[in-house]
Structure 1
Amino acid sequence: MNTILKVFKNEFKMYTRDKKLLVNTLLLPILIYPLIIAIVALGAFISMKSDVQGIKVSFQGKNLEVMEAMKKTKGIKIIDDRVYSDSDILDRTVDAIIVLSEDKDKVIQIKYDSTKKSFLFDKITDSIQKLKVDYITSVLKGKGLKYDNINPISFKTLNEKGKTMDSFTMVISLVLPMLFLLFPMISTSYLTTDIAAGEKEKNTLEPLLCTKTSRYKILLGKLLFTSIISVIISIISILVLGLAAIAAISAFNVSISSMSISFSGIGFMISLIIIMLTVIFLSALQLTLSFFAKNYKESQMLVSPLLIIIMVPIFMSMFLPDKSIFYHLPIFNVVLILKQLTAGIINFANVSIVIGWLVIYIIISVLLCIKAINSEKFIFRV
């Protein structure tokens, strides 16, 4: 154990001294993620500003009731100085054209540029829908009936904790699992490349392997280093991203307490355990490829396809149904269980299955890596 810790301490010293590696794995994420949030917030601000200014709407045809309803709708500016055509939408002269008819049975058409659609466009449909309800209500009232008689059932969707699942929560439950895996993947690829192929390039790996220290202990020390540093970097990156998101949300005077985020403390701890196990598994695979590479550049060329292969199930799992078969497939199972945990769902049966498989993956990948480091032909390609 002392030997493994010595290897870990040595790798940590080399890591803190390597400015390029520190910038790539630690400083860039801390700077880039808030920048991403700032850009998104700026886009939201521009969109909100345009919404405040309102959208310009023109009419084709006549329907006095609809036209009057539109004029009363806040955020909609009626432009009636001339007859506008579809080309005017593309020229940004007018934002939307509503095609009307005095015949109530004829479909009302709403033409707009889909690339410029904002939330204010929903006010057009909401206004027409309200007018429709008012019309039905007046007809029913004349016959001694109420609108509730033809619309007797209403409902709202709640999650397992009795909270309304807003769009923010649903987006978070989709994005967080992806980020939880992308952060350690990126940092691990840099670290494993540096401590294996990087040492070959610096001519420090061969002298290290020639010492009395067992090669598997050297491997475990390097694996311990990449795993711990990758998890720390991931946690820091997620915290920085979270703080930047909170700052952006606060800037628009949105109440954070009103958002139904269900990520519990237990769920967060289980997520960390799963992320750490996944990092060990990925580190062992990437170390094996990095030991095979002759230099830093070749290692990156070998590791990059692996990262692409891993990213496929990460993105696919965001939209896959929650079926038992996927809890037995690598990476798919990790993303699915993280989706549950971020939504506040802790299914210990599924958690046990995923952790069990991760342990098996780790054993296989570490044994593969040990076999690789013990093979002169594999490491030095002789």
Structure 2
Amino acid sequence: MSFKTVGLIFKKELSDLFRDKKTVLVGILIPLLLLPIMFYFMSAGIEKTAKKENFNIAIEDKGKSSLDKFLKEKDDLNIKTIEFDEAEDKVKNGEIAVVITIPDNFEENIKNGVQTNIDVIYDDSSQTSSMVFSKVNQYIGEFSQNVVKTTLTNRGIDPSVLLPVNINKKTIVEEDDGVSKMIMSMIIPLFIVLYCVTGPLPAATDLGAGEKERGTLEPLLTTKASRLSILYGKVFAITVLGIITAIAAIAGLVISFKISPGVFGGGVENFDIGISPLAILIIFTFTVLTSMAFGALELAISIYARSFKEAQTYTTPLTILAFVPTFLMYTVDGKNIDNIYFHIPIANVMSILKEVTLGVINIQHILVVLGWMIAYIVISVAIARYMFNKENVIFRT
């Protein structure tokens, strides 16, 4: 094998891939542009749902209670007047989010310290209605606390007796930063692994089965370049495309963070994406290794396939199998990962990326997963080499 020949094959395959507009569109532009657009509209939908105009509530209060007055003073509630015999229908069709019925003896019961029931109608199948109910429930709880405090104060009792233990919160990071890092530790590893799996796929399919269909693989094999040089040139070209696709996806994600922070942080406006240079280096290293492992394996499958369509059929189960451990690790706490996960394919990469995103640099974990990744690459390249050296596979049509 000649490194010079490998470099020539690599340049040739890479230029062929980027000459194809579909590669640029699918591999780079779609993740780079689609993600910000998608998250922008998601954020717009969340903001629209949270607008006061959608927080429609109706209050039936014949006794002119203090609770009625309390709720009407809240700026984020939109009080509507309706016919109360149609209350359930109006909630069902979404015209009203929540209907509250306050009994006539409400004030009398409050003054006498008697527990009072109020009826609240809402639709738990509606996101807006559930959100408004949660807000109303919060305000009613606040009103109840005020009543209790007033009652105790009038009786000469310190209201603090109701809360004998008070918690002074102290986080190791700023509260918003903590939320940001938690969200990032879930989303960034997920996108990196998904695009490391799917990013090399179009190139692998094209440089294997695609070339067999076009009849361009046989002339390449008749050149002075050894099969091993051709194989490595193709693997490196596929790996580069996978890396670029993953970087484009993360770039699109970062743009989404900046444009629509609320959709990620649950109201955190200043979404911090601060990751240390060392963490970025580790993330990039495992992105390269994951892309190479899957790129070589997908190329092996593509070479085995008779046609482009058959290659797509064969690689589909591979991507599905890769998604299982990826989503398995999605909600796992990056600072409390069991050691077994560092030995499970793909789950181990997700584990390292989660730790690193949260700022945890565990050398032992990194070395363990690095060893596994090297083993995966050796196995994948060996399979691809085996396929590439078998005449009945190469000329299989």
Determine if the TM-score, normalized by the shorter chain, exceeds 0.5: yes
Distance in 2, matches of 1:257 and 1:85, equals 37
Q: CA RMSD in A?
A: 2.7
- TM-score with structure 1 setting the length: 0.88
CA contact (8 A) 1:12 1:225 kept: yes
Kept after mapping to 1: 8 A contact 2:176/2:271: no
Question: What is the match of residue 57 of structure 1?
Answer: 57
Give the structure 2 partner of residue 310 of structure 1: 322
Counterpart residue number, 2:393: 378
Q: Is the aligned partner of 1:156 residue 2:192?
A: no
Pairs within 5 Å for 1:1-382: 1-48=3-50, 51-53=51-53, 55-59=55-59, 64-83=65-84, 84-101=86-103, 102=106, 105-114=115-124, 115-117=126-128, 120-151=132-163, 152-156=165-169, 158=171, 160-161=172-173, 163-164=175-176, 167-249=179-261, 258-320=270-332, 322-381=337-396
Provide closer, same or farther for how the CA distance between residues 329 and 296 of structure 1 changes in structure 2, counting only shifts above 3 A.
same
Range that drifts further, 12-21 or 296-305: 12-21
Q: Structure 1 residues 240, 261: CA separation in 2 closer, same or farther (over 3 Å shift)?
A: closer
In 1, Cα distance between equivalents of 2:186 and 2:170: 18
3-state SS in 1 of match to 2:121: strand
Between the two proteins, what is the percent identity of the paired residues? 27
Q: Is the 8 A contact 1:274 1:334 kept in 2?
A: yes
CA distance in 1, matches of 2:274, 2:160: 35
Alpha carbons 1:372, 1:379 under 8 Å: kept? yes
Q: Please state whether the residue corresponding to 1:110 is helix, strand or coil.
A: strand
Flag structure 1 segments of 5+ consecutive residues without an equivalent. none
Task: Evaluate the alpha carbon distance shift between residue 92 and residue 256 of structure 1 in structure 2; reply closer, same or farther with a 3 A threshold.
Answer: closer
Q: How many residues align structurally?
A: 376
Structure 2 unpaired stretches of 5+: none
Amino acid of the structure 2 residue aligned with 1:200: K
Partner-residue secondary structure (3-state), 1:219: helix
1:196 match: secondary structure: helix
Q: For the Cα contact (< 8 Å) 1:262–1:343, is it kept in 2?
A: no
Structure 1 residues 54 and 206 mapped into 2: Cα distance closer, same or farther (>3 Å)?
A: closer
Q: Which 10-residue stretch deviates more, 100-109 or 295-304?
A: 100-109
The one-letter amino acid of 1:57's match is I
Aligned-partner Cα distance in 2 for 1:291–1:273: 27
SS of residue paired to 2:295:
helix
One-letter code aligned to 2:370:
I
The answer as to whether partners of 2:296 and 2:380 remain within 8 angstroms in 1 is: yes
Structure 1 distance, partners of 2:120, 2:327, is 35
Deviations 1:300-345 (A, max 9, x none): 1111111111111111111246211111100111112212222232
Contact 2:304–2:396 (Cα < 8 Å) also in 1:
yes
Does structure 2 conserve the Cα–Cα contact (< 8 Å) formed by 1:292 and 1:380?
Answer: no
Output the amino acid matched with 1:68: K
Deviates more, 1:308-317 or 1:94-103: 94-103
